[in-house]
A and B are shown apart, each in its own frame.
Chain A
Amino acid sequence: MLQKSALISEIADALDAVRQPVGRAKGLPNELYNTPEALALEREKIFHSGWASIGFGCDVPETGDAVPIDYLGAPLLMLRDRDGQIRVFENVCRHRGMILVEEKKNFGGVIRCPYHSWCYSLDGRLRATPHVGGPGINAHESVNPETTGLTEVRSSVLQDVVFVNLDGKAPPFDDWSAGLRTQLADYIGKPIFYGGPESTFAFDLNTNWKLIVDNNAESYHLPWVHPGLSSYSRLEDHYHLEERGGYSGQGTLVYNPDYGPMPFPDFADLPERWNSAAEYPCFYPNTFFSVHRDHVWAAHLDPKSHDRTVERINIYYTTEEAATSPEYHQMRMDNAARWKEVLSEDVFVTEGMQKGRGAPGFAGGVFSAVMDSPTHCFHAWVAERLAS
């Protein structure tokens, strides 16, 4: 079995080939899809050293809500503090490393470690160390509460998606996401309202996380894989979104949904072009955004192993009424069903490409310089991160 360092040496030439101009480049090599060591390498070089998504703000809607998250083996705790801010901590007691929270719950008071009952407030402060100085003696000079709070992880929220940088060394999130935020500038900052459980769905996919990004980034497959979608939004109506180093994806010049007798309300003050346009950027490594004049959605990829990924999609609307009122209930159901159907059509592709990575003669494949440049952007970004 390859170790991480051996893997990076073995694929060094292949990573160079990925970073060539798109017309001459190869895709990422099979080893990055077929081995557990690949995910271990990506965990170190991509997920834990950069910014990546771990969930959604709507997972912790109320003050005191907390949810444990296994972030590629790192136990995290995402919570909403007393000020209503989302914070992320390592989900371990600073005493003996016990996992603090095993399942989602609301904390009206402190978070108590189930082992020795050390208690932490929602801002991470160590609040109580019972019996630490002997029975009934609850303070001792050997344990300084000022320096023994929960370990906070850098976090930031964009369009309700929660991002973290585990090693604390990545550039500030605003710098990291500057290109994407420019691309979506007409939408970012406008209030969005989660459509609730009926506006959430997920796929548990037998595929590597990168292949889901590959597929979402390009429009080339639309006429072959999404016949219903293509019947009103043709291939020639689409354009590429590309920023080498940050995100890539697709946009369409044709967005004209039919929800029946009444529409969803649009966002206020959108430029005219959004009357008929929509965009779908993949924000590297593991987040998809989509923007339409009357709703947005975001998807988070959770790599469970090198060949299994859970994809979760949340849909948001422009007003609280559109997101929650019974008047819009059926429309929300229909919209979620429509998106679920479209994204379901991709499952055989993403899982089929994973199976294809078992072919010894497949060496990353080639790209169309015209149609595949958003996919190549992503491969080149991965190659850069792994080679760094």
Chain B
Amino acid sequence: MDRSSPPSEAALDAELTRLHGNPDHAARLTVLHEAAAELFRGDTGARRFQLTHAWVFALVDGDEARIAALEEELHALGGL
């Protein structure tokens, strides 16, 4: 699974579109949605939305450490 650093905003959007919902790329989608969440530091709702998707794909990937971190963050944002 590709867990490399996320690309620029435009490239991020393109890659999210390309991989849309593909569980075979769950680890990568987690990274991309976490990166997307970073773009919404001032918008709790949008950040929570992106972190929700990051969380789902971390669950699909079975990455326990990432799942725990995302659940902690979602709790803090009122998403869980």
* Interface flag for B77 (CB, 8 Å): yes
A153 to B19: give the CA distance in the assembly, Å.
Answer: 34
Q: Which residue of A lies closest to B62 (CB)?
A: A109
Q: Is the CB–CB distance between A137 and B62 below 8 Å?
A: no
Q: Is the CB–CB distance between B56 and A130 below 8 Å?
A: yes
Known contacts: A109-B26, A135-B45, A138-B52. The answer to whether A127 contacts B59 by CB under 8 A is yes
Q: Is the CB–CB distance between A114 and B74 below 8 Å?
A: no
Number of A-B contacts (CB under 8 A): 54
Residue numbers in A under 8 Å from B60 (CB-CB): 108-110, 112, 119
B23 CB to closest chain A CB, in angstroms? 6
Q: Which of A107, A117, A119, A139 lies in contact with B80, CB distance below 8 A? A: A139
Q: Is the CB–CB distance between B56 and A117 below 8 Å?
A: yes
Known contacts: A109-B63, A112-B23, A114-B21. The answer to whether A136 contacts B56 by CB under 8 A is no
A108 to B58: give the CA distance in the assembly, Å.
Answer: 10
A127 to B59: give the CA distance in the assembly, Å.
Answer: 9
* Interface flag for A128 (CB, 8 Å): yes
A15 CB to closest chain B CB, in angstroms? 49
* Interface flag for B48 (CB, 8 Å): yes
Residue numbers in B under 8 Å from A138 (CB-CB): 52, 55, 74, 79-80
Q: Is the CB–CB distance between B59 and A128 below 8 Å?
A: yes
Q: Which of B48, B56, B61 lies in contact with A108, CB distance below 8 A? A: B61
Q: Is the CB–CB distance between A130 and B52 below 8 Å?
A: yes
Residue numbers in A under 8 Å from B48 (CB-CB): 135-137
Interface size bracket, B side:
20 to 34
A112 to B60: give the CA distance in the assembly, Å.
Answer: 7
Q: List which B34-80 residues lie within 8 A (CB) of chain A.
A: 45-49, 51-53, 55-56, 58-63, 74, 77-80
Q: Which of A107, A114, A136 lies in contact with B79, CB distance below 8 A? A: A136
A349 to B23: give the CA distance in the assembly, Å.
Answer: 47
Residue numbers in B under 8 Å from A135 (CB-CB): 45, 48-49
Q: Which of B55, B77, B78 lies in contact with A128, CB distance below 8 A? A: B55
Residue numbers in B under 8 Å from A117 (CB-CB): 56
A109 to B52: give the CA distance in the assembly, Å.
Answer: 16
A107 to B78: give the CA distance in the assembly, Å.
Answer: 29
* Interface flag for A131 (CB, 8 Å): yes
Q: Is the CB–CB distance between A110 and B59 below 8 Å?
A: yes
Residue numbers in B under 8 Å from A108 (CB-CB): 60-62
Known contacts: A110-B59, A128-B59. The answer to whether A136 contacts B21 by CB under 8 A is no
A157 to B73: give the CA distance in the assembly, Å.
Answer: 42
A160 to B59: give the CA distance in the assembly, Å.
Answer: 30
Residue numbers in A under 8 Å from B56 (CB-CB): 112, 117, 119, 128, 130
Q: List which A115-160 residues lie within 8 A (CB) of chain B.
A: 117, 119, 127-128, 130-131, 135-139
Q: Is the CB–CB distance between B55 and A137 below 8 Å?
A: no
A337 to B62: give the CA distance in the assembly, Å.
Answer: 42
Residue numbers in B under 8 Å from A128 (CB-CB): 55-56, 59
Q: Is the CB–CB distance between A109 and B61 below 8 Å?
A: yes
B80 CB to closest chain A CB, in angstroms? 5
A138 to B54: give the CA distance in the assembly, Å.
Answer: 13
B43 CB to closest chain A CB, in angstroms? 10
Q: Is the CB–CB distance between A130 and B55 below 8 Å?
A: yes
Q: Is the CB–CB distance between B78 and A137 below 8 Å?
A: yes
A130 to B49: give the CA distance in the assembly, Å.
Answer: 9
Q: Is the CB–CB distance between A136 and B45 below 8 Å?
A: yes
A249 CB to closest chain B CB, in angstroms? 44
B30 CB to closest chain A CB, in angstroms? 10
Q: List which A239-264 residues lie within 8 A (CB) of chain B.
A: none
Residue numbers in A under 8 Å from B49 (CB-CB): 131, 135-136
A residues adjacent to B (C-beta < 8 A): 107-110, 112, 114, 117, 119, 127-128, 130-131, 135-139
A and B contact pairs by CB, cutoff 8 A, 9 listed: A109-B61, A112-B56, A127-B59, A128-B56, A130-B53, A131-B52, A136-B46, A136-B47, A138-B52
Which 8 residue pairs of A and B lie closest in terms of their CB atoms, listed nearest first? A109-B62, A136-B48, A108-B62, A136-B49, A110-B59, A109-B60, A130-B52, A136-B79
Knowing that A109-B26, A135-B45, A136-B77 touch, tell me 4 more A-B residue pairs with CB under 8 angstroms. A109-B62, A117-B56, A119-B59, A135-B48
